[in-house]
Structure 1
Amino acid sequence: MNTGKARRRVLRPGEVEELFSRLATLDPKPTTELAYDTPFELLVAVILSAQATDVGVNKATRRLFPVANTPEALLALGEEGLKRYISSIGLYNAKAANVVAMCRRLVDLHGGAVPRTRESLEALPGVGRKTANVVLNTAFGEPTIAVDTHIFRVANRTGLAPGKDVRAVENRLMKVVPERFVQDAHHWLILHGRYTCKARKPDCPHCAIRDLCLYRHKTPGDP
């Protein structure tokens, strides 16, 4: 009979507060690594970033945006014209089709402006909940948390917000993240997952929240 205590899987409220306090101290003003100047440029960049790196997307948009950075200009460029700029990005055929269709919808229904509501954003071609959350948060300052693969991993691995799917993790994060940290939580967590809490070999020895994290298989070394 196993009389040992069950392993704790979820961080306590005080630990969550401390976790975000440390991340905020390290990076007081986090933001996306996608390059953009307008809400429309951000929307396009986020659509292009699916299953692609921010570095790769920025390389493509540095060429694209000086030529076409409005819905009208991208419609004039057309799907085949757009492909020439984004062919280095994975799934570029489907993404080109989605971006052009999205631009058509913006022009026809929103006067070419990026809508500021989740419902309208998610009705656009190529825009799901994660993309809508990024645009609402980063372009319009809404307190949303977009859960990608990095955040899903960090939330489950650390015990911050365990969940079986991205929506479950998002819902839990919105409940447990202290209100004063919600606006920037997405950026802190994605950067932490990208550079420290990496998928194959997390850099636990240099992790600022190592002592709070409940992950059983921490990589060895002095913090």
Structure 2
Amino acid sequence: MTAAADSAVSEQAPRKTSTARARASRKPESRLAMVRRARRINRELAELYPYAHPELDFENPFQLLVATVLSAQTTDLRVNQTTPALFAAYPTPEDLAAADPEELEQILRPTGFFRAKARALLGLSAALRDTFGGEVPGRLEDLVTLPGVGRKTANVVLGNAFGVPGLTVDTHFQRLVHRFGWTTAKEPEKIEQDVMAIFPKSEWTMVSHRLIFHGRRMCHARRPACGVCPIAPLCPSYGEGETDPEKAKKLLKYEMAGGPGQRLKPPPGFPGKAAPPLEVE
């Protein structure tokens, strides 16, 4: 763990018994109190992850769009290990649209579901070429017309390639907003609407990055590291995971555990190591 990360998690969560008793005696939370708590959680996460960023390597909107489509059902790390060869072979939508399907599939094989992903990339590249002049559109209503592109992917591209605020409602985001008690909605679009109503529009993209970072590093699906979580006093779900600080510390991942992140080319200020390239068998 880096010195900064170690310092951030050193103020360990309260003991489970006292916290459970305190929460059991709480009155129902008002809407105003929830919004204030949510915004404080966001501020705490901003201090914990001042370097939060999209974890896909990209140099332009086209690369981010393709990488985001490829990230379905796999890790950002595996996508980042695959896209250098992909973009070296097909640097533009026109190039990718003209790719041989079998050759494209072989490049995409490490990401899983490579045949479906190859079809999606061929289709969206052809649409970019034929409908949008070879450029990635900067409007959500245009992006979602592309094969393989839904609201989540569109918001990733808009927020990180065009500076248009949006929420990325992925599995980590959904898990954390439910644990934090920000919404009880199950449908991604309703979750998006509920969380948008809590934060100023200018915060939407960074709220997404911070929640996803926290979900990947500390607030895991099966065993969240409650015992070293700095926002434990603000979390109504504290105690779902490991509350012993020493055991919880062993559950941390990526730079929080002293390891590399997911990007082969991490942005300036990232405290961890660069991820390794794909090993060629």
TM-score normalised by length of structure 2: 0.73
Mapped to 1, the partners of 2:175 and 2:60 lie a distance apart of 30
CA 1:95–1:21 in structure 2 vs 1: closer, same or farther (change >3 Å)?
same
Shift of 1:63: 1.6
Residues 158-173 of structure 1: pairs in structure 2 closer than 5 A:
158-173=180-195
2:124 partner amino acid: M
1:173 partner amino acid: V
Match of 1:19 among 16, 27, 41: 41
Match of 1:112 in 2: 134
Residue segments in structure 1 that go unaligned for 5+ positions in a row: none
Shift of 1:32: 0.8
Q: SS of the residue aligned with 1:87?
A: helix
Shift of 1:31: 1.2
**Corresponding residue pairs, total:** 220
Match of 1:156 in 2: 178
**Are positions 1:59 and 2:66 aligned together?**
no
The alignment-based identity, stated in percent, is 39
Residues 119-134 of structure 1: pairs in structure 2 closer than 5 A:
119-134=141-156
Which deviates the most, 61-70 or 9-18?
9-18
**Deviation string, structure 1 residues 62-120 (Cα, Å, up to 9, x no partner):** 22112212111112323222111111112110010010011000000111000011111
Match of 2:160 among 138, 141, 152: 138
Match of 1:221 in 2: 244
1:214 partner amino acid: P
**Are positions 1:72 and 2:94 aligned together?**
yes
**Deviation string, structure 1 residues 167-196 (Cα, Å, up to 9, x no partner):** 221111100124452231111111111111
**Deviation string, structure 1 residues 157-216 (Cα, Å, up to 9, x no partner):** 121333222222111110012445223111111111111110000011121211101115
Residue segments in structure 2 that go unaligned for 5+ positions in a row: 1-24, 249-281
Residues 188-199 of structure 1: pairs in structure 2 closer than 5 A:
188-199=210-221
Mapped to 2, the partners of 1:9 and 1:150 lie a distance apart of 25
CA 1:9–1:54 in structure 2 vs 1: closer, same or farther (change >3 Å)?
farther
Q: SS of the residue aligned with 1:115?
A: coil
2:52 partner amino acid: P
Q: How well do the aligned residues superpose, as a CA RMSD in angstroms?
A: 2.0
Match of 1:177 in 2: 199
TM-score normalised by length of structure 1: 0.92
1:89 partner amino acid: T
**Deviation string, structure 1 residues 36-59 (Cα, Å, up to 9, x no partner):** 111000000000001111011111
**Are positions 1:39 and 2:66 aligned together?**
no
Say whether the 8 Å CA contact 1:20–1:181 is kept in structure 2. Answer: no
Say whether the 8 Å CA contact 1:17–1:178 is kept in structure 2. Answer: no
CA 1:12–1:64 in structure 2 vs 1: closer, same or farther (change >3 Å)?
same
Say whether the 8 Å CA contact 1:151–1:189 is kept in structure 2. Answer: yes
Q: SS of the residue aligned with 1:169?
A: helix
**Deviation string, structure 1 residues 119-161 (Cα, Å, up to 9, x no partner):** 1100000101110111111111111001000100000012133
